[in-house]
């Protein structure tokens, strides 16, 4: 799929993009390039940029990082996160056994699913200084609601990128979760992280590089869609979200 999404054959890529737009009802009027002929290949279309006025960044403390649908939102209880009804997983599992998981014994989280039709660039939900990043290899199960309700530890089993930010709220964690057909993720500071695929967890330390990102600034993108998970430390500003709520990048979360 990674190779197919980068085929530049005009006839093939235009027909596939046109089918995709029809099938998933993609709103190209929001995109900088509204004509499918203007995209080099399918991945170029899939990671399309939006017009500057397509999304307004709220003045609130925390904003939504993506377009999507809320899979789950709630409190972190004794390091446990709700995946779906009767399914939980631990922060430690999600973060690849990172010692910093103990800092999220309490707190709150939001899991947001990006459907194929959604805008697939990811933006900063808050001002933050990048501390480190981990690439955690894993499976590529689908992350739709049906799978989440039936597969134990789904988000802690799939391939993922974990980003640690120091913020005005304390240490915050932002997780990009891979899924079926999603074999490639990238960030603005690193570029494409996978492929190449690794068998071991890879750690990247940015504590001395002064990489600061502002709320609403692009963080990265999925080369095909998936899920993001936000972990927040225990403090007063809870997310004003509901399960199954449709959200848009830039809207207020608190």
Q: Which residues are catalytic?
A: 67, 123, 226
Residue 127: alpha-carbon gap to chain centroid = 17
Tokens 């027909």 correspond to 15
- DSSP code of 199? S
Q: What are the CA-CA distances from residue 16 to residues 8, 9, 27, 170 (Å)? A: 11, 11, 16, 44
Give strand ranges (E) for 137-169: 160-167
Euclidean distance between CA atoms 241 and 247, whole angstroms: 9
| Residue with the two structure tokens 């377009």 | 67
Tell me how far apart the alpha carbons of residues 175 and 124 are, in angstroms, rounded to a whole number. Answer: 12
Distance CA 215, CA 127 (A): 5
In the structure encoding, which two tokens stand for residue 3, read together? 């190779």
Contact between 128 and 165 under an 8 Å Cβ cutoff? The reply is yes
Residue 235 CB coordination number (10 Å): 12
CA distance 82 to 86: 8
Mode of pairing for the β-strands spanning 160-167 and 106-113: unpaired
């Amino acid at each position: 799929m990674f190779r197919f999404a980068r085929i530049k054959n005009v006839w093939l890529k235009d027909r596939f993009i046109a089918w995709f737009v029809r099938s998933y009802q993609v709103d190209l009027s929001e995109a900088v390039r509204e004509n499918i002929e203007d995209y080099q290949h399918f991945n170029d279309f899939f990671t399309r940029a939006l017009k500057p006025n397509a999304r307004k960044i709220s003045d609130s403390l925390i904003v939504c990082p993506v377009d999507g649908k809320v899979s789950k939102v709630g409190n972190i209880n004794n390091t446990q996160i709700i995946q779906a009804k009767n399914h939980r997983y631990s922060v430690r599992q999600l973060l690849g056994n990172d010692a910093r998981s103990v800092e999220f014994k309490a707190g709150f989280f939001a899991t947001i699913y990006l459907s194929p039709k959604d805008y697939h660039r990811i933006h900063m939900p808050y001002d933050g200084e990048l501390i480190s990043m981990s690439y955690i290899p894993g499976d590529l199960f689908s992350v739709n609601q049906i799978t989440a309700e039936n597969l134990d530890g789904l988000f802690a089993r799939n391939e993922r990128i974990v980003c640690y930010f120091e913020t005005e709220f304390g240490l915050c964690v932002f997780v990009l979760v891979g899924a079926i057909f999603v074999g490639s993720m990238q960030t603005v500071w690193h570029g494409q992280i996978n492929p190449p695929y690794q068998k071991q967890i890879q750690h990247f330390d940015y504590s001395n590089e002064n990489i600061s990102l502002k709320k609403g600034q692009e963080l990265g993108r999925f080369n095909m869609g998936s899920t993001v998970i936000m972990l927040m430390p225990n403090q007063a500003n809870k997310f004003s979200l509901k399960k199954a709520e449709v959200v848009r990048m830039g809207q207020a979360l608190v």
